[in-house]
Structure 1
Amino acid sequence: MKAIVDPGNVLAEGLSAIRSQYQVPAGFPPAVLAAAETAATRAPTAHVDRTDRPFVTLDPIRSTDLDQAFAIEASGSDLLLHYAIADVAWFVDDGDALDVEAWKRGTTLYLPDGKAGLYPPSLSEGAASLLPAGPRPAVVFTVRVAGDGAVRLDGVERAIVRSRAKLGYETVTDADLPPGFAELARRIAAAEAARGAARVDPPEQEVAERGDGRLALEFRTRHLSEDQNAALSLATNLAVADALLAHHTGLFRVMAEPDPAAIERLRNTARAFAIDWPEDQPLAAFEPRLDPTDHREAALMLAIRRAGQGASYAPWQEGVVPWHAAVAASYAHATAPLRRLADRYVVRAALAVANGQPVPAAVTEAFARLPKVMARADALAGQIDRAVIDLAEAAMLQGREGEIFAAGVTDVDARGARMQLGALPVVTRIDANGAAPGDAIRVRLIDADPGKRSVRFERVD
């Protein structure tokens, strides 16, 4: 779960209840753990030696499940991104205990107090993770990035790689990164702008203890290196999608544009935060100007992230161009196989088509089954996400009963008026009482109950 972090573990009791309610796995069955231990000893035999390339990783400093490592080199005016992805399929066979358990889970589930992994730690944080502890098997995607940010998949190979450094967003310096890193990210960002892409990456929220003993939701500083690093993954996923489309196969991440009602709610949210959004400016043009270091604009970015109609997965279909509105392109997930089940199969398909081989039947069959499995996993992750946010909001507001807050009505339906508090990243409902979308109102906090993960307000004007 990426929206809330709880460094002080002040939400421990509530998080335990969430884990119980949503049956978040506490570990793995013994047979799966045993299979992982055996698989971790499997020696790579189908991999070329690329340990001479200066790969590095860049992640949150405490991360140990490292899906990606990268090296960059110039090729005339182009840049070549060598993007090494954990070769999970080398360790997991179709139908084995690891595979069966992964199909049950679908994704790694993240909560502020820990995660429930897709694979056991002996793989996800050990033999398959691209840690600098030693050589690792990987699938290396070579992506050519032109001066205008256009991408093309030049090759895919199984390789042995060795990360030279485990870099962290919080501590990395320009000198730590390979030459061309910032320029490659700039090219990808320029191409996004030219396409009219509307990706939003709001900062994480943190639960902090204030000096008066109360809790507060604050936005963690988002580092430039995070956005630059995300560009590498985006470039690879775009190039993979194009390659799979050209070979009439694949599994794609698709998402429709936010509908007019969602756009109007976002405009009302902007009004609640006193953020100027010109009426004639579309969302895609407005988003890039938002500043994640401003708490109001960061909260609006979070609202935008949650306002879409929801992304899903779709297998290749004759005559259908899969489209992801936020990316403004066809898009595939291939770069996080330690954390997402679908990526393992997309990687296998890309490896096949890039080397002139048929896509394995098991992969094609998986593409047909995966949308339902991933939808179920994404829905569970979303429910947990919402529960954690509700818990954090209630904990933050507990003890402030009776206080009056400024708010803005974002929309009204049969369940009442949905409102956004003006000074806090809290969205909740209140009796409509004649309220209309866009109204500025004042509300009094009646109750905040972390145990029930609920807050209750009443309108005072």
Structure 2
Amino acid sequence: MKVIADPGKALARGLGAIREEFQVPPGFPPEVIAAAETAARRVPDQHADRTDRPFVTLDPASSTDLDQAFAIEPAGADLLLHYAIADVGWFVADGDPLDREAWRRGETLYLPDGKAGLYPPQLSEGAASLLPDGPRPAVVFTVRIDPAGLATLDGAERAIIRSRAKLAYDNVTPDQLPPDFVELARRAQAAEAARGAVRVDPPEQEVVLLPGDGFDLAFRPRLKSEADNAALSLATNLAVAAALHAHRTGLFRVMAEPDERAVAKLRLTAGALGIGWPPEMTLEQLERRLDPTRPAEARFMLAIRRAGPGAAYMPWRDGTLPWHAAVAAPYAHATAPLRRLADRYVVRAALEIANGHPVPLAVGEAFEKLPAVMARADTLAGRIERAVVDLAEAVLLSERIGQTFHAVATEADGKGAKVQLCDMAVVARVTGSGIEPGAALQLRLTAVDVVRRTVAFERV
């Protein structure tokens, strides 16, 4: 999940109000903490020794809840990705206090001033995290990547691993990574393009202090190391999804294409941001041309993300293909069990079927219940993210009351219109009749309420 970064703590006061409004848990109940401390002392006894493999992790420098580590080796023309996933299922038993609390939360919630974890830090940032300070239990998926980038699940096992290094996106060097890391990522990305997949991943927004006084919302472009690392996770999730679907079980992430109304709105937004979009060009074709280092195109990527129908979870159903439009394939979430409840059960199912065992009854039952639980958690996370964006926009505009802005109406009804500011990644509403979608408007900022996270414009 993308959230606005706030290193200067300009949003601190408002973030406290957001945490209170959305009842973001400040910690864990004592019985859950006690269960985590007990679980952290559990000694693995069902795991193969794979400490000889040169696993490393690659994450933001500040991350301590490390779900994934990887090692890569050639196998003829293919590449074998050994993708180690934190073995959360080893520490958490069905129905125990940790499990019950995780079902209440659903996923980790992220805000600029910190996160509310799915599991207590004794596990998520300690015994279960794949940190390089000692051996850790993991589920290791071996994924075969052929020269065309097709990913298949060759095997899965519980194993003890030892990460050699905690690498960071912003300072990793090629010599620190496996020799075939870039090639594997290239193959996965080539396969993605061949499928016609278009995944829009807008750059992170950051509140920055301007020289002298005031604030601005800037974009931090995605680093190549981030994109390459994401390709490894994508390949693993695709391979797991294919294996689950072949065995007529699983929990899948599904998403439809944007509808005609959403595309029409995006065309207006593109015009407002000065992005050329010929009538004969599809949204998918335009997406492949977007450059996140250009501010206007970065803003448009955010607009695309907000305009889509949203993803959901779906258990396996006979006769139904669980399709994810952005990935252009059946897709599952398996690589972040420290942060998403659903992943723990997908990992358990994939581990069993890869070893010729039936999926446990408790896992199959969980697949039926998880879509509603995860939808509730995703909705809460989305509402919090929207509130953070509204807060950042209010802080950003608080010094500009009385100024005039160019905007384009993207939606309209009898009472007014939703507008996209042309020079900022801000979507607002203005009242008034007779506004048609696509209309160019001059708006004056009349009021900002940082506490309520609202801004008000009037037509000039």
Q: Structure 1 length normalisation: TM-score?
A: 0.98
Distance in 2 (CA, whole Å) between partners of 1:146 and 1:286 is 29
Counterpart secondary structure, 1:4: coil
Shift of 1:213: 1.2
Structure 1 distance, partners of 2:305, 2:366, is 29
Query: 1:218 aligned to 2:218?
Result: yes
Q: 1:215 to 1:36 in 2, by over 3 A?
A: same
Residue equivalent to 1:80: 80
Query: Matched residues in 2 for 1:224 and 1:82: separation?
Result: 21
Summarize deviations over 1:56-107 as a string: whole Å, max 9, x none.
0000000000000001111111111110000000000000000000000000
> Equivalents in 2 of 1:52, 1:87: separation in Å?
18
Deviations 1:350-387 (A, max 9, x none): 00000000100000000000000000000000110000
CA distance in 2, matches of 1:417, 1:177: 50
- Asked if 1 retains the 8 angstrom alpha-carbon contact of 2:409 and 2:435, the reply is yes
Contact map agreement 1:198 1:283 (CA 8 A) in 2: no
Q: CA deviation at 1:195?
A: 1.1
Name the structure 1 match of 2:355.
355
CA distances 1:268-301 after superposition (whole Å, capped 9, x unpaired):
1111110111211111121121111111111111
SS of equivalent residue, structure 1 residue 342? helix
What is aligned with 1:129? 129
**1:6 corresponds to 2:6:** yes
C-alpha contact 1:404 1:442 (8 A) present in aligned 2: yes
Partner of residue 18, structure 1: 18
Alignment of 1:326-405 (within 5 A): 326-405=326-405
Once the two structures are TM-superposed, the CA of residue 414 in structure 1 deviates from its matched residue by: 5.1
In 1: Cα distance, 2:184 partner to 2:432 partner: 50
Aligned to 1:148: 148
Q: Matched residues in 1 for 2:132 and 2:257: separation?
A: 40
The answer to whether the 8 A contact 2:324-2:331 is kept is yes
Aligned to 1:205: 205
Aligned partner of 1:38 in structure 2 is: 38
Q: Which 10-residue stretch deviates more, 335-344 or 148-157?
A: 148-157
Q: Is the 8 A contact 1:196 1:285 kept in 2?
A: no
Instruction: Give the AA of the match of 2:324.
Output: H
Please tell me the residue identity of whatever aligns with 1:114.
Answer: G
Work out whether 1:255 is the aligned partner of 2:268.
no
**Secondary structure of the corresponding residue to residue 448 of structure 1:** strand
Residues 163-184 of structure 1 show CA distances to partners (whole Å, capped at 9, x for unaligned) of 1010001111112111111111
Q: Which residue of 2 aligns with 1:175?
A: 175
Alpha-carbon distance in structure 1 between the residues aligned to 2:283 and 2:177 = 33
Amino acid at match of 1:443: L
SS of 1:201's partner is coil
Q: Which runs of 5+ in 2 are unaligned?
A: none
Deviation at residue 415 of structure 1 after TM alignment: 5.4
Match in the other structure for 1:47: 47
| Matched-pair contact (CA < 8 Å) for 2:203–2:219 | yes
> Retained in 2: the 8 A contact 1:151–1:235?
yes
> In structure 2, what is the Cα distance between the partners aligned to 1:18 and 1:429?
22
Contact 2:415 2:433 in 1 (8 A): no
Q: CA RMSD in A?
A: 0.9
Cα distance change on mapping 1:89 and 1:415 into 2, 3 Å = farther
Q: Distance in 1 between matches of 2:180 and 2:96?
A: 41
Aligned residues: 460
How far did residue 221 of structure 1 move? 2.8
Match of 2:442 in 1: 442
Measured in 2, the distance between the counterparts of 1:395 and 1:437 equals 28
Say if 2:240 and 2:350, in contact at 8 Å, map to a contact too: yes
Partner of 1:184: 184
2:314 corresponds in structure 1 to 314
Take 1:404 and 1:156, find their aligned partners in 2: how far apart are those partners?
59
Q: CA deviation at 1:440?
A: 2.0
